[in-house]
Structure 1
Amino acid sequence: MNAHLRGLLALTFVTLIWGSTFVVVKGALEQFPPSLLMLLRFLVGAAFFLPFWKRARGAWGPGLDLAFWAFLGYATQTIGLLYTTAGRSAFITALSVVLVPVIAGLAGRRVPVWVWLGALASFVGVGMLAYDGSPPNAGDLWTLATAVTYAVYILRLELHTRTHDAFVLSLTQLVGLSLFVGAWAWVSGDLAALAGLAVPWAAVLYLGVAATALTTWLMAVGQRSVSAPEAAVIYSMEPVWAATFAYFVLGEVLGLRGLVGGALVVLAVAVVQWSAAAAERGRTAG
């Protein structure tokens, strides 16, 4: 198995873990503020990479750069959800799938046609899966900012993985996110209330270990050999996995439109992976 295929599989596994978090987060937020849940998950995630602290001297700039864009994504999505629905939020956030190749193209990069087709197909599929038809609102603009920041994050991650080890990049990024989210929790007053709250440790540990430490490292490893436009299409699998877990765990049922949308996303990701593998074989043969 070559590095590119390993990268594709790693990013696909990331989306599976992300999809499982919706069920976990939904239960945890019933008794715990979102800022504190995020802070604890990032602190737990960062703790796994502390042994690499001495090697991280030259990676703090890139790590804080990634943390900044990731935090903007989390913050704008959270604010957007105050005004818009979860389905509409997922739909608008999925614009990042298209924005990544657009930004890359504007920067002068050549984006293969099959990546464009996969990005557009996955966006349409996510729309069918999540869009609820509600009227425009202020939350839509905040969530549009989420899509832009996620797109920039994916592109910046591709850049930094070329020059920095995945372990130290994960450490510096998660420490940076802990600082940003910690400041948010302090300003909001949630941090002062932490002592009187019952911490949902099972959720925190799962989110911190699997959905933060493991996925952050896998993304850094995967995007070292997978281009940002390809990765954006792979990441669009997240709502498909989320719907799957919601069906089996929460009993939520998708209609025909949702099933067709999910199938379209899966098809788009499969085509991108198959085309990328074919292109890699062609380069190796040549």
Structure 2
Amino acid sequence: MHSNILLLITAAIWGFAFVFQRTGMEHVGPFTFNAARFALGTLSLIPVWWWLSSRSAQASSSKVFYYGAIAGTFLFAGSTLQQVGIQYTTAGKAGFITGLYIVIVPIIALLFGQYTRKETWVGCAFALVGLYLLSVTDDLTIEYGDTLVLIGAIFWAGHVLIIAKYSPKVSAIALSVVQFAVCAALSLVVALFTEEIKTDNILLAGESILFTGLISVGVAYTLQVIAQQNAHPAHAAIILSLEALFAAVGGWMLLNEVLTTKAIIGCTLMLLGMVISQIKLFKIPSKIGEKPTIS
């Protein structure tokens, strides 16, 4: 129950963060924005890391940095595609499309020879129909921003799998600090070559950077790592999928975003698909030598 509450808080923070990610783009470029917010998230957790490491034995630094570098690279790819794409779509749509990583996770597991439940395919069908209604235009092309966010969802799925694999092996805070630092560094390198970085513009985007850096990065991502140490993977996926709903609510409340009836139906089908992919509707056959399922 404790882990589920943490995951619900995480989903709410991430959902409303889409609003600030959009408003931040009014003043700075996507790479500058990500570099600033992930650097802020890193700095906010260093004192906590130091305090916890002084009170308990931690995993070897080599493992923390190795795992963190892998997680940070996937975090960079996902956050970059999301941040660039959100300039060309709404906060609500970006939230629902990003949430597709819930369905993508078990599909990726197929590449490793692991069984994927029937519910996943049913959920995927609902999600694809919903994506069509939400993002495909009248000339049967998917909007540019939605395409970038959709590709980013694949990297978010990879990030979830990596966190699930490594978070039980090392300090959650240490893993968070390292992955944030890696993401910030990669974003800064790209920003230096592709964007004009001005202090005045960063200050104008200060409110958005503070929320997404301290709350969305420093607090929410860390809550995710801590919660996933004990939460059931399927339960975690369902709760985190509510991020999409919070994003739509945040876009409506703070940005006056309004979804068309077609888009609302699409969002409903996508959310339904995310939930169906994580619950058991069909009896799973039990055969000798059958590989375990991935929720």
Question: How far off is 1:89 after superposition?
Answer: 6.1
Aligned residue number for residue 27 of structure 1: 23
Letter of the 1:218 counterpart: L
Question: How far off is 1:172 after superposition?
Answer: 0.9
C-alpha distance in 2 between matches for 1:126 and 1:11: 25
Aligned residue number for residue 5 of structure 2: 9
Aligned residue number for residue 39 of structure 2: 43
Between 1:161-170 and 1:109-118, the stretch displaced more is 109-118
1:74 aligns to 2:70 (yes or no): no
The alignment's C-alpha RMSD in Å is 3.4
> Between the two proteins, what is the percent identity of the paired residues?
25
- Aligned partners of 1:90 and 1:131 also within 8 Å: no
Aligned residue number for residue 64 of structure 2: 59
C-alpha distance in 1 between matches for 2:193 and 2:22: 24
Aligned residue number for residue 240 of structure 1: 245
Between 1:215-224 and 1:236-245, the stretch displaced more is 236-245
Question: How far off is 1:254 after superposition?
Answer: 2.6
Superposition pairs for residues 156-195 of structure 1, below 5 Å?
156-191=162-197, 193-194=198-199
- Change in 2 beyond 3 A, CA 1:92/1:81: same
Superposition pairs for residues 101-250 of structure 1, below 5 Å?
101-114=106-119, 117-118=122-123, 120-121=125-126, 124-125=129-130, 128-129=133-134, 131-133=136-138, 135-136=141-142, 142-191=148-197, 193-194=198-199, 198-226=203-231, 231-250=236-255
Question: How far off is 1:91 after superposition?
Answer: 6.5
Q: Secondary structure at the match of 2:81?
A: helix
- Change in 2 beyond 3 A, CA 1:227/1:123: farther
Give 1 or 2: higher helix fraction. 1
Question: How far off is 1:239 after superposition?
Answer: 2.7
- 1:173-204 deviations in Å (ceiling 9; x for gaps): 1111111111112122434x336754432222
Q: For structure 1, list consecutive stretches of 5 or more residues without a partner in the other structure.
A: 277-286
> How many residues of Structure 1 are paired with residues of Structure 2 in the alignment?
270
- Aligned partners of 1:43 and 1:208 also within 8 Å: yes
- Change in 2 beyond 3 A, CA 1:253/1:40: same
C-alpha distance in 2 between matches for 1:136 and 1:150: 20
C-alpha distance in 1 between matches for 2:273 and 2:9: 16
Q: TM-score, normalised by structure 2?
A: 0.74
Letter of the 1:50 counterpart: I
C-alpha distance in 2 between matches for 1:99 and 1:212: 23
Q: Secondary structure at the match of 2:259?
A: coil
Aligned residue number for residue 289 of structure 2: none
Q: For structure 2, list consecutive stretches of 5 or more residues without a partner in the other structure.
A: 282-295
